[in-house]
Amino acid sequence: MNIEKLSQCLEQEIAWFSRVCDARFDAYFKNDEQNTDLEILCPAPDLNDFQEADSPYANLVREFKMNFAERIVLMLALMPHLRPQALDLFSLQNAALARGYSEIGGWRGKQHSGFLPTCETAAFILAGSNLVKRFDIARIFKDTHFFHQQGILKLEHQGSGEPFFGAALLLSNEYLQRLSDGEVHKPDFSTHFPAKLMQTHLEWEDLVLNREVMNEVDNIVVWLKHSQTILQKWGLDKSLKPGYRSLFYGPPGTGKTLTASLIGKAVNADVYRIDLSMVVSKYIGETEKNLANVFDQAENKRWILFFDEADSLFGKRTQTSSSNDRHANQEISYLLQRVEDFPGVVILATNLKANIDAAFSRRFQSEVYFAMPDARQRERLWRGLFKRQEMLAADINFRHIAEAYELTGGALLNVARYAAIRALRNNRDLINQEDLLAGISKELMKDGKTL
C-alpha cells in the first residue's frame, strides 16, 4: 500500500468536498441557489491518476461507478474520521433562534465535540432548498441502494417518530478500515458484534456422519454454491426467499458445530457463532438491538450465522400472564422475522428439538438429526483421532473399545487428550489401552456411568 498515494487521493477529495460545501453555503445564504449548479461549479476530481493498488478510495468509487452526489455523501460520512474540523462550518448558529439551522441537520456525540452529519446534512449540501433535488437525494438512503446493500453506510435513527432525514449518517467500521489501509477486515468479537469467527483445520474425512445426515448437509452446500442459479436462472426468485434455514439437533458432541464449520470451509464462506450470553438481555429492547447488530452486518456478506444452544433464544412462546412473558414473546417474534428475512444461511443447533418454537420449525428448509455414532462409526472416529500408529501401544484394540463404550465424537476428543497426558505423566512415549480406558472412565462418570 502506497500511503503517499492514498493520502494524495484523499487530500484531493477533501479539498473538493470543502469547495462544494463552501459553494452551497454561499448560494444558500445569498439566496442565489437558482443560479448555482454545484456539479458545474465544483466538478468532481478525476481519479484516474490513482491506480487501484494505490488508493482504496479511488478503487471503491470506480467499483460502484459513484456519481457526484454519491461521492459527496461518502465523503460526508468519512470526514469526521479524516478531518473533523472541515465540518465546523455546519455548526453555524441561527442568531434569530439561538440554535443551529434545522435544515443543516447534524447531531452531537457523547465524547466527540465536533459536528456529526445526518441525512439532512447531505440533503442540504446537494439540494439546498430545492424540493425536487431533495426527493432525488432520498434514493441514496433507500435499502435498494448499494450504500445499504453493501454495508458501506449505516443510518441510525436517534428516536422513534422523528423525520427520516434526521438519521445519523455513519460509515461502517469495515469500510472505514478498507479506505484507510486497503484491507478487507473481518469484524472482531465485541459488545457491538457478539459473534466469533469459527475456523477448523479438520476436513470432511474427519467427520463421521451417516448417509442421511450427509445428504442434508450436501443440500446446504449446493444451495450456497448455486442459489443464484436456482433463484435467477430457474425463475424461482418470485416464489422463494434467498435465505436458507436449517436446524441441527441431537446429543452434545455429535458434530453439529464441526459440520457448520466445514460447510463454510467447503464454500469459502465465513461462519460466525453467535454468543447468546452477550445477545440476551433482561432489559426491554436490548436483545433485539444486539441481534440487529449481527444481522445488519451480515446482511450482504455471504456469512453463515450459527446459533449454538439455540433453544435459549428460540424457545417456545408462553401464555402472556405478565409483562415479562409479553417481552419474551416479542423477542421470539422479532427473531422469527429476522431469521426469515435474512438472505444468507442460518443454522440453529440444539440438543433438544422439542424446545424450539414451532413457528421456527415450520420455516426450516431442513432439520438434521445428529445421532449418537454407532460402533462402526465410533471405530472410525477412534482411528481418525490416532492417525500416527507409531504412538500407540500394541495392546490397543479400537474395535473392542468402540463396541463396548457408547461415546460421542466430542467425548472421544476428551479421552484422547486425557490418555496422552496420562502417558506422558507416566514417562511413556506410547499411549496404551489402559490410558484410553482411564479416559473413558472419566467421560462416563460425567453421565453417572461406570466402565
109: pLDDT strictly greater than 90: no
Distance CA 177, CA 174 (A): 5
Per-residue pLDDT tens for 114-156? 999 999 999 999 999 999 999 999 999 998 899 988 889 989 8
Partner residues linked to 196 by β-bridges: 273
What is the pLDDT at residue 329?
Answer: 60
Helix axes 409-425, 433-446, angle to 10 degrees: 130
Estimate to the nearest angstrom the gap between the alpha carbon of 55 and the chain centroid. Answer: 26
* 164-192-313 Cα angle (round to 5): 95
Contact between residue 207 and residue 218 where contact means Cβ atoms under 8 Å apart: no
Q: What is the mean pLDDT of residues 399-420?
A: 94
429-442: per-residue pLDDT in tens? 999 999 999 999 99
C-alpha span between 260 and 273 (Å, rounded): 9
The mean-pLDDT minimum among 18-22, 33-37, 194-198 falls in 33-37
Domain 195-369 in CATH 2.60.40.10: no
Label the pairing between strands 366-369 and 153-156.
unpaired
Q: Is the pTM of this model over 0.75?
A: no
CA distance 382 to 412: 7
pLDDT score for 261: 95
Contact (CB, 8 A) for 251 and 350: no
pLDDT tens sequence across 166-184? 999 999 888 888 888 766 6
Helix (H, G, I), strand (E, B) or coil at 44: coil
**Sign of the alpha-carbon dihedral angle for 403, 407, 408, 409:** negative
Buried b (16+ CB within 10 A) or exposed e, 314-340: bbebeeeeeeeeeebbbbbebbbebbe
pLDDT band (50, 70, 90) for residue 342: confident
Closest CA to 200 of 253, 261, 273: 261
Band of the pLDDT at 99, cuts 50, 70, 90?
Answer: confident
Per-residue pLDDT band for 157 (boundaries 50, 70, 90) equals: confident
Specify the range with the lowest mean pLDDT, choosing from 91-100, 169-178, 291-300, 439-448.
291-300
Residues, the chain: 451
The bridge status of strand 345-350 relative to strand 244-249 is parallel
SS3 41: helix
* 103 class by beta-carbon count within 10 Å (0-12 exposed, 13-18 middle, 19+ buried): middle
Residue 171 is predicted with a pLDDT of 93
Cross-sheet strand order for the sheet of 304-307: 195-198, 271-274, 304-307, 345-350, 244-249, 366-369
Phi-psi region of 265 (alpha: psi -120 to 50; beta: other; left: phi over 0): alpha
Residue spans per domain, the chain: 3-181, 195-369, 375-446
Inter-residue contact 220 to 294 (CB < 8 Å): no
For residue 310, the tally of other CB atoms under 10 A from its CB is 24
Lowest mean pLDDT among 1-10, 216-225, 388-397: 1-10
**Continuous segment of H or E residues that includes residue 449:** none
Q: What is the DSSP string of 243-274?
A: -EEEEEESSTTSSHHHHHHHHHHHHT--EEEE
CA 367 from centre of chain? 23
What whole-number distance in Å separates Cα of residue 350 and Cα of residue 187?
Answer: 26
What is the pLDDT averaged over residues 73-94? 94
The pLDDT confidence band at residue 26, using thresholds 50, 70 and 90, is very high
- The candidate with the shortest Cα–Cα distance to 140, out of 152, 131, 129, is 152
- Long-range contacts for 329-334 (Cβ within 8 Å, ≥24 apart)? 330/288, 331/287, 331/288, 332/357, 332/359, 334/288, 334/291
DSSP-assigned letters across all residues of 309-330:
TGGGTSB------SHHHHHHHH
C-alpha cell at 90: 455546519
Pick the CATH number of 375-446 from 1.10.10.60, 3.40.630.30, 1.10.8.60, 2.40.290.10: 1.10.8.60
pLDDT exceeds cutoff 90 at 310:
no
